Amino acid sequence: MNGENHGVDAMPSSAAPAHEPGPAPLARRLAMPLATLAGVAAAFAYVGSVDPNEPGHYPVCPLLRFTGIYCPGCGGLRSAHAFIHGDLTTALGANAVAVVGYGIFAVVWLMWLIRAVRGEPLRIAPAPAWWWSLGGVLLIFSVVRNLPFGSLLAP
């Protein structure tokens, strides 16, 4: 065993594999961003056509039902309904955090689409501090909207 190659055929280091995988075809790269957009558009179309301001169409928030406390999502369906109908003032009044979320979704989705066209993966990996900050903002939003001076934020 003097470092000899006993019967094992080694490929020279300069030889490339027979087939190197390239980027996926454009249609395949766009499938997930477009499917995601279709799902979100379908959800918004449903909420836009079935008014959440009329009782009986959607379930009541369990936290609101049992405690009378507004959660960060309370008013989200009314916000989406108003947003779809172009009433930004009502949408912000129903749930301002949701409206900000629509904007963030649009920006991230557009980045995803552009990177998919270019054949680049979308990597979003915020540091834990960002997640803690987001949680803190949602907690503060929830507390303030349930206090008398924060009634402007209540749905």
pLDDT tens digits for range 43-79: 999 999 999 988 888 888 898 899 988 998 999 999 9
Q: Comparing C-alpha atoms, which of 103, 59, 62 is closest to residue 80?
A: 103
For residue 63, give every residue at least 6 positions away whose Cβ sits within 8 Å of its Cβ, in sequence order, or none. 69, 70, 71, 74
69: tokens are: 């406390």
pLDDT at residue number 98: 95
Q: Comparing C-alpha atoms, which of 59, 61, 101 is closest to residue 79?
A: 101
142: tokens are: 């929830």
pLDDT at residue number 27: 87
Q: Comparing C-alpha atoms, which of 79, 70, 89 is closest to residue 150?
A: 70
pTM of the predicted model, to two decimals?
0.75
Cα 81–146–96 angle (5° rounding)? 35
User: In terms of C-beta density within 10 A (0-12 exposed, 13-18 middle, 19 or more buried), how is residue 70 classed?
Assistant: buried
Q: Is the pLDDT of residue 20 over 70?
A: no
36: tokens are: 């995601």
| Segment 107-115 mean pLDDT | 94
Residue 26 vs residue 37, higher pLDDT: 37
pLDDT digits (tens, 9 = 90+) for 112-136: 999 999 998 888 888 999 999 999 9
pLDDT at residue number 152: 80
| Segment 22-39 mean pLDDT | 88
Of all residues in the chain, the percent with pLDDT exceeding 70 is 85
pLDDT at residue number 149: 87
Of all residues in the chain, the percent with pLDDT exceeding 90 is 57
Q: How confident is the model at residue 41 (pLDDT cuts 50, 70, 90)?
A: very high
pLDDT at residue number 61: 87
